[in-house]
Structure 1
Amino acid sequence: MSRLRPVAMTGTPRPADALPLAGSRCVWWREALDAGALRSASEMAPEVRDRFSGAKPDVCGLKLDRPLVMGILNTTPDSFSDGGAHYALEDAVRRARSMSAEADILDIGGESTRPGAKPVSVQAEITRTVPVIRAIRGSGIATPISIDTRKAEVAAAALDAGADMVNDVTALRYDPEMAALVAERGVPVCLMHSVADPETMQQHARYDDVVAEVHDHLAERIAVARSAGIARDRLIVDPGIGFGKVLEHNLALLRNLTVFHGLGAPLLLGASRKRFIGTIGGADAGAERMPGSVAVALHGAAQGVHILRVHDTAETRQALSLWEALAGTDEGQHHGA
């Protein structure tokens, strides 16, 4: 599997030999780093160029030629940034309604996966998430919903209640029934890199080459998903910023995001309000990390990331609108939520 790193570019005019990066209308490339040396795309085999340039399949009916905003809605009392803020049903639905004007997808989770978090039971997770999904759908909000869970029984209940996709932070490792469920339902699934479990993952933050190891792990999880009958056009990958990684690992992954386009799947980035942002930016509380989170989201957009998972949906949407106008597109049109 290729670990080429295309050099992502934005702006106009584009050179005649510029290629879209991962199907983006705003980001392009014409050369890539290969073992430290620059190679022209024109020298590469057509299948390699296509893997890094080709359009990605729609997710939940949404085109991926521009970055999508995935709004985080945690229905937990103990998430690291907003635990308890949307724990009550009415608070969760109110926040979902607000986010639906700004976000393309709502990501609803009922189990904290912050470092050191202890697991919750299947029933507790269902109780926290399913009534919220039903209430969102009952209120007429049609925005696609992702269920953030590693448990097949929770995912099934959420899909039955109106969710559209699964976001599994263990990439189908935790629950042996999850892959079969996703294959049977034919829904998109995000495969995220993580190690161990949330309670102990930071004790396992050791890598010889974090970019290569995360890339190869995701390639292996794609193979597992495909062997379980999950269609390739239903797969999304996420390098798992902060999950069993320390600051230097997170920065290495962010600097090398274009490597992951070689996996041939849409790329999701979830870095919002994470500890490394506070460490670098001098912000202890999660809510104080909004400016740094937007900065990282814009960096991801400029690397061709397809889905940005964020807490601060309005701020991210506004920043992306300006970024897109500055980056330039052929049509000169701007994306709305």
Structure 2
Amino acid sequence: MKRIGVLTSGGDAPGMNAAIRAVVRKGIYHNLEVMGIYNGYSGLINGKIEKLELGSVGDIIHRGGTMLHSARCEEFKTKEGQQKGIEQLKKHGIEGLVVIGGDGSYQGAKALTVQGFPCVGVPGTIDNDIPGTEFTIGFDTALNTVLDAIDKIRDTASSHERTFIIEVMGRDAGDIALWSGLAGGAETILIPEENYDMNDIVERLNKGNERGKKHSIIIVAEGVTSGNKFAEELKEASNIETRVSVLGHIQRGGSPTASDRVLASRLGARAVELLMEGKGGRAVGIEKNQLVDYDIIEALSRKHELNFDMYKLSKELSI
């Protein structure tokens, strides 16, 4: 391979820039030309493609977001859109593609793989919901952003002796809610992977009040319900007054943590190695701190699994 491409797609995640940097510099180190595709699959279809040099990715490893920008692209979900993308790749002499993103991005890479174009998927999403890897790029940074918010909200919850509901992101996965709730000492954590029992939640809150506890933190994953809707349900069931904080897109921004920068660098570089080895249709990940890769079609057929031992522990520690 002489020339490869790299794009970011879907929701941005802290550490994407570190992954882009790794792809570009690893490629150039091995005498490859690296082409940057701007605005995801939309930019691919429209030919927004430029050659990237060493300096193109200087001073970005510490920046959140993605220098290649991102966009949703309904057209690329069609055979016609995918063919337009392949034509652009061939027009620019790109022989392999690194796709950095989440589930939707992987679906695009899978579509190109089915049509015979070599792609490698790099998991970049704060949701931590990609099969075939224990952690995704951006998850650790988002987790620490949420934890910082929990710590601050707990201060005011304690001062005013109130119950606060904090709604966090994660799509249909409860990882952000679970990890931040356990780290932040939340009394209740609601995750999409487990149905919640309102009677149990009210009982736990009442037991806390009986032993003198005057404030509580409830973490609600967006895949379960909205924080405001849950607050209404809780009030109807218990008459407990709450305050709701919806953290929203603040969870996607900010300078990536050291963990995310290292993970992104390792995964981005490994993606280039796979293309150099002639291995397309792969998805890279990390398991037990070791780099792994799977057939991308096989990976997408699997389901992300939540750590239920952690969920059980969070309940045991929040009595």
Q: Does the TM-score normalized on the shorter chain lie above 0.5? A: no
**Larger RCO, structure (CA 8 Å, separation 6 or more):** 2
**TM-score for the superposition, normalised by structure 2:** 0.27
Query: As a proportion of its length, which structure holds more helix?
Result: 2
**TM-score for the superposition, normalised by structure 1:** 0.26
